[in-house]
Amino acid sequence: MTTAPPTPPDTDAAAFVAALRRLKAWSGFSYRQLERRAKDAGHVLPYSTAATMLGRDRLPRQELVAAFVAACGVRADEAQAWLDARVTIACGGPVVTTRSSRKRWSWQRCRAFAGALALAGALLAAAGGPFTDDVEVDEVGVSHHLPG
C-alpha cells in the first residue's frame, strides 16, 4: 500500500521547503528524473534548480513549486494545496481581520494580487525587458524621461 504524499504547511518558508524535501523523498525520484517528469507534464524544472531550491530555506517561485509537485506525482487537487500554501506564506499568513475597519484581508485576495504580479512579470518578460530601449528612443527621437 502506498502512503499519501506529505501535506504542505502554510506557516513559513523554511517549513514549506522542508515539506518539499519530504515530498521528493516520498516520490523516490532523482533530480534528473524529476526534470524529465516535469518536462513530460509541460513544465520546466532543471535538475540543478530543483536541487538548489531544496537546499535553501527561501520560498521558491510559484512556477517552480507547480513544476516540482507535478514531477513528484502529486494529483491536481493536492498540487493546488501546495500552491495555495505557498501564496499564503508569501502573503504573510492566513486570514487577518481588523475590527476597527471591518475589512477582511484573506489569502484569496493576496493570491489574486500575486497572480496579477506574475502576469505583469510575464508580460514584461515577453516584451523583451524595459520599455525604454535606447534603439527605440533613437529611432523616434523622443525621450519619455523628464529633463534633469
The pLDDT of residue 133 is 47
**Does the pLDDT at position 123 exceed 50?**
yes
Helices (H) and strands (E) in the chain, counts: 7, 2
Percent of the residues in the chain that have a pLDDT greater than 70, as a whole number: 61
Please write the tens of the pLDDT for every residue from 36-68.
999 999 999 999 999 999 999 999 999 999 999
Q: Could you tell me which residue, 123 or 88, shows the higher pLDDT?
A: 88
- Residues whose CB falls within 8 Å of the CB of residue 68, separated by 6 or more in sequence, listed in order: 20, 23, 24, 34, 38, 45, 50, 53, 60
The pLDDT of residue 135 is 47
| DSSP-assigned letter for residue 97 | E
